[in-house]
Amino acid sequence: MSRRKLMGAIAALGVSFALGAIANADETFEPGQPIRYDGCAIVTISPTNEVQAQAVRLLELRLMSCAEGRTCTDYLVTSGEMAVLRSIGVPLAVVTADVQAAIDEERARLERAGDAPRGSAWFEEYKTRDQIVTFFDELVAQRPDVITQELIGMSLEGREIYAYELTGPGGEPDRPALLFNGTQHAREWISPMTLSFFARELVTGYGEDPEVTALLDGVKYLLVPIVNPDGYVYSWTTDRMWRKNRRDNGDGSFGVDPNRNWSFEWGGRDRAAGADRRRIVGRPRFPNRKRRRCGTTRWLTPR
């Protein structure tokens, strides 16, 4: 959006402010250095009318929710954007007042946790991609009759995308299957941890716990703990708030949103978002369709 358009929109709301105060957090990026979010906050914004909703859209804030909601939505905002939002009078609640402080605190915690042993303490902190791959290697070594690993594709930056099939040996071969993907959105670090825990509970419970045994004998569980390895690694090394993959779009921008790029119902309801669409979902027309067809889709499609 042009600054002129924004000024016009804000002026129409009867509000004046210093536009210079709006700085894009990405502009603080220095090559090779983690992106910093000094002065940024995460807020939940709840527009009460269409004028407010329109003003929020014009600001092109950095979306934190999975989709831009019709009601309350989370955004990452600079101090300048926060000032504008307050002057417009849009109802907002601060979720994280100081994003950089939260990132620093988390980083310090992760360094203290290090390579925690595989007991329940392992689940107390997020884990790197290498740690998660090793965790699943150990489960496969422990119960190869219950869990098997498959390489379903390579990421654009050349990282393996591993899937794991968990099911009880023998029995009905045509059992239903359930697919779980982790890190379609890179920064959602809880997702591979959830799948690690789920896998461990199934693997260690098989033959021990009748309920778990029945779950594995009746259903096939297909887990892809890190379906977006490039984005996940990038969220650890460079940008904690990164959401997409790391596709070079060729126009200076990087990343498309994997969960808006399945060949079925592309973009979903975000198609209605018009000009905002590209920011949320990346480029249209299945930019990653080929990769998908070579990876998860091919793996899932009967051969």
- The residue (of 54 and 259) whose beta carbon lies closer to Zn ion is 259
Q: How far is the CB of 66 from Zn ion (least distance, A)?
A: 4
Neighbours of 240 (CB within 10 A): 22
Distance CA(132)–CA(135), nearest Å, equals 5
The secondary structure of 235-265 as a DSSP string is HHHT-TT--S---B-SSS-B---GGG-SSSS
Distance CA(107)–CA(101), nearest Å, equals 10
Distance CA(294)–CA(8), nearest Å, equals 47
According to DSSP, residue 197 is labeled H
- The residue (of 127 and 243) whose beta carbon lies closer to Zn ion is 243
- The residue (of 167 and 183) whose beta carbon lies closer to Zn ion is 183
Residues that bind Zn ion (CB under 5 A): 66, 185
Q: How far is the CB of 71 from Zn ion (least distance, A)?
A: 18
Tokens 């009905």 map to which residue?
172
Q: Measure CA 196 to chain center.
A: 17
Q: How far is the CB of 16 from Zn ion (least distance, A)?
A: 36
- The residue (of 66 and 95) whose beta carbon lies closer to Zn ion is 66
**Residues in CB range of 245: below 8 A, 6 or more apart:** 155, 156, 186, 228, 230, 231, 255, 256, 257, 258, 288
Closest alpha carbon to 148 in 255, 65, 251, 220: 220
Q: How far is the CB of 189 from Zn ion (least distance, A)?
A: 11
Q: How far is the CB of 194 from Zn ion (least distance, A)?
A: 13
Q: How far is the CB of 147 from Zn ion (least distance, A)?
A: 26
Distance CA(54)–CA(195), nearest Å, equals 38
The three-class DSSP label of residue 151 is strand
Q: Measure CA 109 to chain center.
A: 21
Q: How far is the CB of 186 from Zn ion (least distance, A)?
A: 9
- The residue (of 187 and 200) whose beta carbon lies closer to Zn ion is 187
- The residue (of 23 and 95) whose beta carbon lies closer to Zn ion is 95
- The residue (of 74 and 81) whose beta carbon lies closer to Zn ion is 74
